[in-house]
Amino acid sequence: MMIWNLPNTLTWLRIFAIPLVVALYYLPFRWSDPAAGLLFAIAGITDSLDGYFARRYGQTSKLGAFLDPVADKLIVAVALVLIVSKDPRWFIVIIASVIIGREIAISALREWMAEIGQRKKVAVSRIGKYKTIVQITGLSMMLFRWDLFGIPVYNLGLVLTVIAAALTLWSMVSYLRAAWPEMRSA
């Protein structure tokens, strides 16, 4: 097993970026929010790249297959907590709760499906990939917080994150439907 191949290194970098995003977000400098948003966006890009490189160069591994979704869920959950810490309005809290709750539920479902040998039935779907792209983009913009060239970046990020939350629920229903026959017979 290659722990330090390119895809796994990108995943580890995403994990190591988490405390840096937190530190940047709370630094008492004017530029700290945009820096946190940009670092989060870069970390989000590594999510696409690690999978691409793993397939392209035949560097898939059990460690990578385990670590990649863990890194994704960690960085998204941390971003949502950071956003709620500066904007605790009720609908922001609900959006964060929906996204984090879904991630925990689907992770548990995938673990259970793997236990019974049915993991492929709840593999990442196309809608799950779209959700991730919209979510990373929206959260990056919400962390960035500044308006840019007259564009209300935070509000646009909020709209994208609401769309991501809807896609989150849609994909969750899709995964639950795929797993339903096994759940009924359990």
User: In sequence order, what are the residues at sequence separation of 6 or more whose Cβ sits closer than 8 angstroms to the Cβ of residue 173?
Assistant: none
Angle, helices 90-115/153-185, rounded to nearest 10 degrees = 30
Give the CA distances from residue 1 to residues 9, 35, 59, in Å, rounded to whole numbers and listed in that order: 13, 35, 10
The reported pLDDT for the residue numbered 55 is 87
The reported pLDDT for the residue numbered 126 is 86
For residue 134, the cross-strand partners are none
CB 108 within 8 A of CB 102: no
* pLDDT-based confidence at residue 59 (cuts at 50, 70, 90): confident
Angle, helices 90-115/62-86, rounded to nearest 10 degrees = 160
The reported pLDDT for the residue numbered 1 is 53
CB 17 within 8 A of CB 39: yes
The reported pLDDT for the residue numbered 56 is 92
* pLDDT-based confidence at residue 186 (cuts at 50, 70, 90): confident
Percent of the chain having pLDDT more than 70? 99
Backbone φ and ψ of 29, nearest 5°: -120, 150
What pTM does this model have? 0.92
Provide the 3-class DSSP secondary structure of residue 61: coil
Task: State mean pLDDT over 26-41.
Answer: 97
Whether the pLDDT of residue 2 is over 80: the answer is: no
Backbone φ and ψ of 59, nearest 5°: -110, 35
d(CA 178, CA 97): 23
Backbone φ and ψ of 126, nearest 5°: -60, -45
CB 174 within 8 A of CB 125: yes
Alpha helices in the chain (DSSP H): 6-26, 32-56, 62-86, 90-115, 126-144, 153-185
Task: State mean pLDDT over 40-54.
Answer: 91
Task: State mean pLDDT over 64-72.
Answer: 88
Better pLDDT: 67 or 32: 32
Q: What are the structural domains, with CATH classification, of the chain?
A: 6-178 (1.20.120.1760)
User: Using one digit for the tens of pLDDT, what is the confidence trace for 113-166?
Assistant: 888 888 888 887 788 889 999 999 999 999 999 999 999 999 999 999 999 999
The reported pLDDT for the residue numbered 185 is 86
Residue 144: count of CB within 10 angstroms of its CB: 20
User: Using one digit for the tens of pLDDT, what is the confidence trace for 158-176?
Assistant: 999 999 999 999 999 999 9
